[in-house]
């Protein structure tokens, strides 16, 4: 890896947002393309953060502050991305399902997906099936990410998938689900396209789904 790109990569893993922003700026000035900075330094940096989380080395706080460094870098990078006509990997509508107010996990997933160059439309918590459907219609999103922390609210994931079918949109979007009480089996049973146990694996899954 180019030393400057390595510095950006490290600054994300070490969650130093000031360094990330400064180094991204420096890289742009030195003629590195925004796609290269994003895909060869920043995205791999967040992927490493995700790996450290999966291995129990990092926890939620480390992940959150690394995601902030990523965001600081993205802020600097965005104008150049627009200028270079770089598109997001996918457009994602995210939300915690109806009746459920837990959004810590969902926020983490959003940050990690943003770090992996997805465009995020975050609807927050307590999101009714119709709102997911409407947002997909309006934005042309190609993915829905739903979260539920309660066994009592999980059935609203199924309700949302049903609502997508009724609206004729089920084939247009990939549906990912997650949350503490969920399992792969549950995701299959309700007809989702995939389940991820944590934010890091949600990114890997989203990439697979976006590619398929």
Partner 1 sequence: MVTKMTFLERLRGGDLMVSDGATGTNLQDRGLERGKSGEAWVFERPEEIVRLHIDFIQAGSDIILTCTFGANCMRAGKEIAAGSVEELNRRAVKLAREAVGDLPVFVAGSMGPLGQLIKPLGTLTVEEAYAAYLQQAKALVEGGVDLLLVETQFDIAEASTAVKAAKAAGSLPVVCSFSYDRGTRTMMGTNPAKMAEAIVPLGVDALGINCGRSLEENLKALKELKTVSSLPVWFKPNAGLPQVDASGNTSYSVTPQEMGALAAEWLASGAQVAGGCCGTSPQHLAQIAKTVKGK
Looking at residues 27 to 66 of the shown chain, list those that interact with partner 1 (rule: CB under 8 A): 56, 58-62, 64-65
CB of 88 to partner 1, least distance (A): 25
Stretch that binds partner 1, among 28-36, 82-90, 135-143, 149-157 (CB under 8 A): 149-157
Strand order in the sheet with 143-147: 119-122, 91-96, 143-147, 174-178, 194-195
User: Which residue, 6 or 131, is less far from partner 1 as judged by CB?
Assistant: 131
Cβ 26 vs Cβ 78: under 8 Å? no
Phi then psi for residue 178, to 5 deg, are -160, 170
If the CB atoms of residues 4 and 150 are measured against partner 1, the closer one turns out to be 150
Residue 18 touches partner 1, criterion: CB under 8 A: no
Distance, in Å, from the CA atom of 31 to the CA atom of 93, rounded to the nearest integer, reads: 34
**115 within 8 A of 46, measured Cβ to Cβ:** yes
Binding mask of the shown chain, residues 157 to 176, with x at each position contacting partner 1 by CB under 8 A:
-x------------------
3-state secondary structure of 57: coil
Contact residues for partner 1 (CB under 8 A)? 56, 58-62, 64-65, 98-104, 126, 150-156, 158, 180-183, 185-186, 189-190
């Amino acid at each position: 890896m180019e030393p400057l790109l390595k510095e950006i990569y490290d600054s994300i893993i070490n969650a130093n947002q000031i360094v990330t922003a400064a180094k991204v700026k420096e890289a742009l000035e030195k003629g590195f393309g925004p796609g290269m900075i994003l895909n060869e330094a920043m995205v791999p940096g967040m992927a490493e953060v995700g790996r450290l989380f999966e291995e129990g080395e990092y926890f939620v706080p480390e992940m959150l502050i690394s995601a902030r460094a990523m965001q600081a870098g993205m802020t600097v990078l965005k104008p150049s991305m627009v200028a270079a006509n770089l598109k997001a990997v996918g457009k994602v509508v995210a939300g915690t399902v109806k009746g459920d107010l837990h959004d810590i996990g969902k926020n983490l997933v959003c940050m990690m997906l943003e770090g992996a160059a997805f465009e995020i439309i975050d609807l927050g918590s307590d999101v009714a099936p119709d709102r997911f459907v409407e947002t997909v219609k309006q934005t042309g999103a190609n993915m829905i990410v739903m979260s539920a922390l309660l066994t009592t609210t999980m059935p609203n994931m199924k309700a949302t998938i049903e609502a997508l079918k009724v609206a004729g949109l089920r084939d247009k979007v990939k549906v990912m689900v997650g949350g503490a009480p969920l399992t792969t089996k549950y995701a299959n049973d309700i007809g989702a396209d995939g389940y991820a146990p944590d934010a890091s694996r949600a990114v890997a899954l989203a990439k697979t789904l976006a590619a398929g």
